[in-house]
Amino acid sequence: MTINLLNYDGKGLVDFCTGIGEKPFRAKQLLRWIHQYSTADFDAMSDLAKGLREKLAVQAVIELPQIITDYVAADGTRKWLLAVGAGNGIETVFIPEANRGTLCVSSQVGCALACTFCSTGKQGFNRNLTVAEIIGQLWIANKTLRSNVSDNTLAHANRAVTNVVMMGMGEPLANFDNVVTALGLMLDDHAYGLSRRRVTVSTSGLVPAIDRLRECCPVALAISLHAPNDALRDQLVPINKKYPIKELLAACQRYLLAAPRDFITFEYVMLAGVNDSIAHARELVALVHDTPCKFNLIPFNSFPGSDFKRSTAETVRVFRDVLMQAGLVTTVRKTRGDDIAAACGQLAGQVKDKTRRTAGVRIEAIQ
């Protein structure tokens, strides 16, 4: 049985190399070839001994998700639909800006958390993605977007992806071990070499997993908040019934002790007539008064079957001003890629729903 090397971080590759009778330093060479140079062909790894390349050809593969579709929006946003087997597909989105390129990465096939305003959550849940399927999204984006450099050994210096956000399909912290291994590759100087400040994990609020992330891999943290009180958040983000706002904010305070940034980002989707009043804004101000944070207000992006409406631009402006007048850093996310259903909350992919939630079966809260 061949082994997919994309599933291994640096330590895993050291163990693999020693297991086939090779020196540990070969792991760093493999990391660079696979991740820095986006090479999937062992024969092209020119500084590896011929004997090692022959072993790799027999015992290992570099197997990536397959590209099903590749769309580019009018604003330059790019979305890939990637096949991950058994009729399932995940979506990955690249958002280009003047001084950065942000890749939005998926962590699960579907999502079991059932947030009511999210298209992914309406698709049901099939399974967690493997490390290879998570890091493969970054590999594919770098390979596709990289400038056309004739010397492949220079290719890593021309990556378009400068930032990664774990905000695609799924709840990253519900696939903890695979996500953390992938994060380690993103941060590894021999792989992608991103700083902790440029890698963000977004969570709906799995409190124990937030604490685990703080201990083993503290990257930037974003919380999908979307409501200023438990009664409303219970409706919008059902996991709140298990981990209410008070517990979530306490976890944020603990996380800040190790975080690469001195604030937590709170994401807040603006839903007309639901969570967008001046009273809601004032309630938010009181809620986070002792939590260093910034707010990212997100205009709701519609999808088939949704009953929610987007707040008006004036409503969003007034809401933002209440937060800013209270001294809270607040931005309004510019909607990107909505003409190809690549905007926040629109990712759906192709999910063979094993939860049957689309048929109305209740999903228990994730432990």
User: Known catalytic residues?
Assistant: 91, 344
Residues contacting residue 9 through CB under 8 Å, at least 6 positions apart: 131, 181, 184, 185, 188
Exposed e or buried b for every residue in 54-75, given b needs 16+ CB within 10 A?
ebbeeebebbbbeeeeebebee
Beta bridge partners of 329: 294
Residue 247 CB neighbour total at 10 angstroms: 15
Residue 188 CB neighbour total at 10 angstroms: 18
CA-closest candidate to residue 170, choices 242, 237, 106, 88: 106
Q: What is the DSSP letter of 19?
A: H
Q: Are 200 and 265 in contact (CB under 8 A)?
A: yes
CA-closest candidate to residue 115, choices 236, 269, 273, 241: 236
Residues contacting residue 211 through CB under 8 Å, at least 6 positions apart: 251, 254, 255
Tokens coding 208: 């124990």
Q: Is 203 helix (H, G, I), strand (E, B) or coil?
A: strand
